[in-house]
Structure 1
């Protein structure tokens, strides 16, 4: 197993990592860091929770420090784009940890908060700007920031940025950053659109892959309950939550309305619950996440988009109250548990109109998810195949 020292990082970075409890590089870090230090463009295929921020952040900080210069006012030296406010905040928090005792300044630009404060922050120039695409373009239009000194462009969770319709924003932004830059693209999945995006933005990229798309964490036990409708979903969910009072449970709903309704019901019957979705303000989402992270609430109901930035190692259970329309999203959801070497349990509920979605998930992952209760309709029976709940049987 390689160490951070083996990867070519400086003593200052090594001391910072050691002081913050980083002992050994994760697989994506071990592969990506030397390549980024060499100046390669990179495609990194990895789920969230695998240590991607350090994989691109550490070598980028190393190079920025070595260049020993400051950005001009209203300019940047490196740009990291991510799809949601939660994810931007998560990335920025990690980067700020890594730049301690260095001159590197990290800035954050997201929607839903004061644009004037962000303009003031950018007036002095920042070394690394972490941003959502929409708010960044708003600030560019106001001439609050220019990207002409950007030498590094990172696209994180690129598949989710495409899902959220950011492709046109990404095209605009890429034209504002100099062509002679180093571009790093990270994605949990590699659909055709991502390959096309990489072809447009990257030059002779090296591809590193640590978890093949569709493969869930080995330590996630997966189960499915076949149910006739939502009433039984809610009933089984409440029993499971009651049976695991010390658990930290993340529940996925397909819609904002559904997430809010389910959270209110759970809260009403005595569970400490909160919700995060697109109708919540930035402040509400951050308070809910903090309460969940701190264990003040034990149940968080979320939609896919709102949950993409969640990085909470203590999640013990992930519930797919509604199965996702896109099978890759299921892999992302269950990746919220079994983080940092822990075990985790993923429980799905499958109503009759969701059978097709379940089959698509099983096909993607190459498994049959273990049946916890109920039976699939006879005409939707699975093809004969070994059945297992460990996620990669």
Structure 2
């Protein structure tokens, strides 16, 4: 079996891989890394979960000269969540490269925040095309020292209409560069993108996303008139086995309308859609991840690339138009060997449409029966956890370990009572038991972490 050390990776990268418990390269990593290290262009067909981020990430990190204050690597991705996910993965892989700077640029928050961060030029930029083009036009990023361009999830970049932006961005990059492209499918549009922008690429085929869903996923469908859907959804959310749920709608307006309905009926529900500012999206995801929200109502675009661990249930409130959307939604649960359930609430017309897809063959359908909605529905149990906002983050040199220590020493909590923690650049979120939340806020506010007083408040 090939090991990472056999691939010629530098000791700092091997040290990070060992810390991350990456024991052996996946097939796509074993193929891509030697080609990429040799400076060749690569066109890879790689399904979700194949390890492609580490495949290109390890290769480009090895070539970075951290002594130079220049942008050397550009990764273009279709969605903000994927930009953050790739940025974090590259930071972890490059943890032992001294002074490595990796940043993510995406729409949904103020441009000035990103411009401020460019006072120190990042070595690696992970970006959505629209926001990167903004930077290029303002000349806040000058890519004249770029070594490698990576087009990640190329099929999604094209599907979401970024073709014109890609053409404009690539025109502004140095011609002498390495280019790598990865896509779950190789449509004619993707092949045209490869022909236009890659030079004698080495082709890697690690398979494609299949029409199969995890064996440990149960597919359930309910059929009835559209007016019965709200009661059926509420009934599902009141079942103990439903647990944490991700609910899909087809439009932003439907997301907002449905979340208002659920909150009015006592369900701790959050919204996620493409027009929300990034801090609000971060907060909504955090509350689902740490158990201080029971349900997240989302559109497909906003949920692209989400990987929420311990997600018990997916509910497709609106039936999707395409089979791959159905698969993407249902596959958000039952990940990494866990057990999960995916429901779809459908009108008879929607059922006829969905049943044509091979991926939906195993749905167990039944007639939609749910208790009629009373004027004031019984409230669902409130989540056990509450999310607290802490006014210090990564830029203040604060770590999750620091936060646990502070909440134990000053907040009076047992170590195991401190829940899920996420640290962002300028703030952090910490989950604590609901019954202790107000007391913890009072105790911890004013405490010092790394010599700086912090403020703590409940996230509403």
Which band: TM-score by shorter chain?
0.7 to 0.9
Rounded Cα–Cα distance in structure 2 between residues aligned with 1:334 and 1:27? 26
Which region of structure 1 is more displaced relative to structure 2, 227-236 or 54-63?
227-236
Does the 8 A contact of 1:31 with 1:208 survive in 2?
yes
Alignment map for 1:1-393 (pairs within 5 Å): 2-64=2-64, 67=65, 69-72=67-70, 76-102=71-97, 103-245=99-241, 247-355=243-351, 357-362=353-358, 365=359, 368-374=361-367
DSSP 3-state at the match of 1:251: strand
Distance in structure 2 (CA, Å) of the matches to 1:356 and 1:206 = 43
Distance 1:333 1:32, change over 3 A: farther
Determine the C-alpha separation between the residues in 2 that align with 1:138 and 1:220.
44
Provide the secondary structure at the position in 2 that maps to 1:179.
Answer: coil
Higher RCO structure, 1 or 2 (CA under 8 Å, sep 6+): 1
Unaligned ranges ≥5, structure 1: 376-393
Q: Are the equivalent residues in 2 in contact too, given 1:217–1:338 (CA < 8 A)?
A: no
Secondary structure of the corresponding residue to residue 118 of structure 2: helix
Mapped to 1, the partners of 2:218 and 2:293 lie a distance apart of: 24
Residue 101 of structure 1 deviates from its aligned partner by 2.8
What secondary structure sits across from 1:14 in the alignment? Answer: helix
- The whole-number CA distance in structure 1 between the counterparts of 2:130 and 2:332 is 26
Alignment correspondent of 1:390 = none
Give, in angstroms, the shift of residue 303 of structure 1.
0.4
Task: Indicate how the Cα distance of structure 1 residues 91 and 259 shifts in structure 2: closer, same or farther if over 3 A, else same.
Answer: same
Q: Return the alpha-carbon distance in structure 2 between the equivalents of residues 234 and 280 of structure 1.
A: 24
CA contact (8 A) 2:76 2:151 kept: yes
Deviation at 1:228, TM superposition (A): 2.4
Tell me the distance in 1 between the aligned counterparts of 2:151 and 2:223: 39
Kindly indicate whether the alpha-carbon contact (under 8 Å) linking 2:41 and 2:202 is maintained by their aligned counterparts in 1: yes
Contact 2:226 2:346 in 1 (8 A): no
Which digits, 9 at most, give the CA deviation of each residue in 1:315-345, with x for residues without a partner?
2322222222232222222332233333333
CA distance in 1, matches of 2:342, 2:80: 25
Separation in 1, partners of 2:277, 2:261: 21
Q: Distance in 2 between matches of 1:89 and 1:96?
A: 11
**TM-score, reference length from structure 2:** 0.73
Distance of 1:344 and 1:26 partners within structure 2: 25
TM-score relative to the length of structure 1: 0.84
Deviation at residue 201 of structure 1 after TM alignment: 1.7
Deviation at 1:68, TM superposition (A): 5.5
Offset at residue 175 of structure 1 (A) = 1.4
- Cα distance between partner residues in 2 of 1:242 and 1:6: 53
Q: Deviations over 1:227-246 (max 9, x none)?
A: 12334333343333333457
Give 3-state SS (helix, strand or coil) of 1:138's partner.
helix
Aligned partners of 1:27, 1:357: CA distance in 2, in Å?
Answer: 37
Query: Could you list the per-position Cα deviations for residues 97-143 of structure 1 after superposition, in whole angstroms to 9, with x for gaps in the alignment?
Result: 22223132112212222322322332432210011111111111111
Compared CA separation, residues 310 and 297, structure 1 to 2 (3 A): same
Please identify, of 10-19 and 126-135, the stretch whose mean Cα deviation from structure 2 is larger.
10-19
Distance of 1:224 and 1:26 partners within structure 2: 33
Q: Deviations over 1:199-244 (max 9, x none)?
A: 2222233343445344234335242424123343333433333334
Partner SS, residue 123 of structure 2: strand
Q: 1:42 to 1:281 in 2, by over 3 A?
A: same
Distance 1:260 1:271 in 2: 14
Q: Alignment length, in residue pairs?
A: 367
Q: Is the 8 A contact 2:217 2:333 kept in 1?
A: no
Higher Cα radius of gyration:
2
Partner of 2:425: none
Q: For 1:200 and 1:149, how far apart are their aligned partners in 2?
A: 21
